[in-house]
């Protein structure tokens, strides 16, 4: 998996905003689909990619290993 932080421009109604998050892509063949991962009010993006043993406790890296890109 190749993971990096990214800023995406979005429009909220008529207001331009920026969404900051982590994009993880599979190594090799690019994914044609990207899962948008949203956390609950009391969490942050680490919910999807825990810093403790990321090879075992990362939803984002597991999806990338199975060929699917994610953005959290």
69: β partners: 34
Going by C-beta distance under 8 Å and a sequence separation of 6 or more, which residues neighbour residue 45? Answer: 21, 22, 37, 39, 72
| Mean pLDDT computed over 6-28 | 93
pLDDT (0 to 100) of residue 71: 95
What pairing do the DSSP bridges indicate for beta strands 15-25 and 34-36?
unpaired
pTM of the model: 0.83
Tell me, what's the pLDDT at 15?
95
Q: Where are the domains of the chain?
A: 2-71
């Amino acid at each position: 998996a190749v993971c990096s932080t990214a800023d995406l421009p979005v429009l909220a109604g008529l207001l331009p905003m920026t969404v900051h998050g982590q994009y993880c892509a599979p190594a090799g063949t690019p994914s044609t689909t990207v899962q948008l991962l949203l956390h609950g009010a009391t969490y942050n993006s680490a919910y999807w990619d825990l810093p403790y043993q990321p090879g075992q406790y990362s939803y984002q890296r597991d999806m990338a290993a199975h060929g699917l890109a994610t953005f959290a």
